[in-house]
Amino acid sequence: MNIIETFDLTKTYGFLFWKKKEPALDKLNIAIQEGLVHGFLGPNGAGKTTTIKLIMDLIFPTHGEVKVFGKDPSDLDVKKNIGFLPDSPAFSSYLSAYDFLNICAKLHQIHALKRRDRIMEVLAAVKMEKHRDSKLGGFSRGMLQRIGIAQAILNKPKLLILDEPLVGLDPHGRQELKDIIVEEKKNGTTVFFSSHILSDVEKICDTISILNRGVLLCCGRIDELLSVTGLRAHVNPGNDDCVKELMGLASGTIKLPNGSWDLVFQNSEEAMAKISQVKEKAPDALVLAPTRESLEEFFFRKVENSTDIS
Ligand SMILES: Nc1ncnc2c1ncn2[C@@H]1O[C@H](COP(=O)(O)OP(=O)(O)O)[C@@H](O)[C@H]1O
Ligand SMILES: [Mg+2]
């Protein structure tokens, strides 16, 4: 089942005479499958926040439509099942972390007897238990981002929408956020998050889409989108004769502590022919796997090509 679907979704900001010529989002068609983590990627100004606001029913499309759980996003049942972290959330500085989450829990109509436990659970998930009684006004950007994430998962949503959740987090915080996303996915939650920070996004996404200047450049499974750039051969211990044969053609070699080797080859006829020859002679010595370009390489290739055309 598709959790989010957009049909020619278009948004042009402004009104009548003041309407901008260029749409912020131009005929977007995407389908997000249940239970997957989707990375919604694009440079600044690409139209990511605009799309998220349309999904969240915070602004209205100029043309086209969006369906969430197969329904109009204004449907109350839809809203109840979404957890949302906006791109620049504002917090009341005089509230403590606990008090803020308590208000959110009341808004979500979490039963009074379960509220405290659930708040402590989400504070633990974002590693903020120690700060439960501190005022939000004294929190750093990263700490506020964690509280924002805590409120987004408070109602155990079926769909989690996060707008630039990695911004403001240090590498450690980013890793923890990724762990939370993976954990949410394990619980069956569909996660849709936007990002312009690509490094290690690919490790947690099942599917991605790339947007540039309001136009969708691609959408699909990450392993199908990234091109194969070569081959990695893992040579089991005790097969040094195979390593000797192949080493000269490899672009990278690593000897592992257990005596096995990892050899990396670029796509070349000579290398591929030699590998299949060695594999034929000693089928159990080698384990082969394709190597792919990184998401970063793919992203810049796509975005630069689309910018060249316009
Ligand atoms: N409220 C608004 N009024 C006018 N233009 C807007 C508004 N919000 C966003 N835009 C414009 O729409 C485009 C897409 O913005 P946005 O969706 O925020 O991109 P992203 O989140 O990918 O950085 C940008 O050119 C931005 O300047
Ligand atoms: Mg944005």
Residue 164 and residue 235 in one domain: no
CA distance 137 to 96: 8
Does residue 299 fall inside a structural domain?
no
Does residue 297 fall inside a structural domain?
no
Per the CB < 8 A criterion, the answer to whether 165 and 192 are in contact is no
pLDDT in tens, 178-200: 989 999 999 999 999 999 878 76
Q: 54-90 burial, b for 16+ CB within 10 Å, e for fewer?
A: bbbbeeebbebebbbbeeebeeeebeebbbbbbeeee
pTM: 0.86
Does residue 146 fall inside a structural domain?
yes
Does residue 298 fall inside a structural domain?
no
CA distance 149 to 177: 8
Does residue 302 fall inside a structural domain?
no
pLDDT value at residue 308: 62
CA distance 209 to 32: 10
pLDDT over 80 (residue 234): yes
CA distance 221 to 228: 14
In this structure, the residue with its CA closest to atom 4 of ligand 1 is: 13
pLDDT over 60 (residue 310): no
Cα of 179 from ligand 1 centre, angstroms: 30
Residue 17 and residue 46 in one domain: yes
Which atom of ligand 1 lies closest to the CA of 52? 17
CATH assignment at residue 243: 3.30.70.240
Residue 207 and residue 262 in one domain: no
Cα of 45 from ligand 1 centre, angstroms: 6
- Total structural domains in the chain? 2
CA distance 289 to 182: 25
Does residue 262 fall inside a structural domain?
yes
CA distances from 245 to 23, 75, 278, 279 (A): 57, 64, 8, 11
Residue 209 and residue 249 in one domain: no
pLDDT value at residue 134: 96
pLDDT in tens, 123-177: 999 999 999 999 999 998 889 989 999 999 999 999 999 999 988 788 888 888 8
pLDDT over 80 (residue 17): no
pLDDT over 60 (residue 309): no
Residue 134 and residue 19 in one domain: yes
Per the CB < 8 A criterion, the answer to whether 150 and 89 are in contact is no
- Ligand 1 site residues, Cβ closer than 6 angstroms: 13, 24, 42, 44-50
Residue 161 and residue 61 in one domain: yes
% helix, strand, coil for the chain, step of 5: 35, 25, 35
To the nearest whole percent, how much of the chain has pLDDT over 90? 75
Residue 90 and residue 129 in one domain: yes
CATH assignment at residue 157: 3.40.50.300
pLDDT value at residue 81: 95
CA distance 95 to 226: 45
